[in-house]
Amino acid sequence: MGMSYRRAWNMVKALNNSFRAPLVETVKGGRAGGSARLTATGDEVLRRYRRMESDAAEAIATEVEDFRKFIRSR
């Protein structure tokens, strides 16, 4: 993902603290190592975020295409 392990976990902690319920739950590691997974709330937030992202891209698609006319070709 192009970021350090520590930065990624700090972002997960920040997200968990920003919502009423955690988005990610963790299991402490032992010999087999730990794990993390999205909670039901995390799944729902991700689903809604991706829908918003898609809706936004669709809403601006025409303007983006028009904007490309101003970009210098390579």
CATH number for 37: 1.10.10.10
Which residues does 45 contact at the CB level (< 8 Å), separation at least 6? 19, 23
CB-CB contact of 26 with 34 (8 Å): yes
This prediction has a pTM of: 0.76
pLDDT at 34: 84
Q: Would you say residue 30 has pLDDT above 80? A: no
What CA–CA distance (Å, rounded) separates 12 from 54?
A: 23
Structural domain of residue 65, as residue ranges?
A: 5-70
pLDDT score for 33: 80
- How many independent structural domains does the chain possess? 1
pLDDT of residue 73: 79
- Residue 1's pLDDT band (boundaries 50, 70, 90)? confident
DSSP per residue, 2-34: -S-HHHHHHHHHHHHHHSSS-SEEEE--STT--
Predicted confidence band of residue 27 (pLDDT cuts 50, 70, 90): confident
- 34: number of Cβ within 10 Å: 9
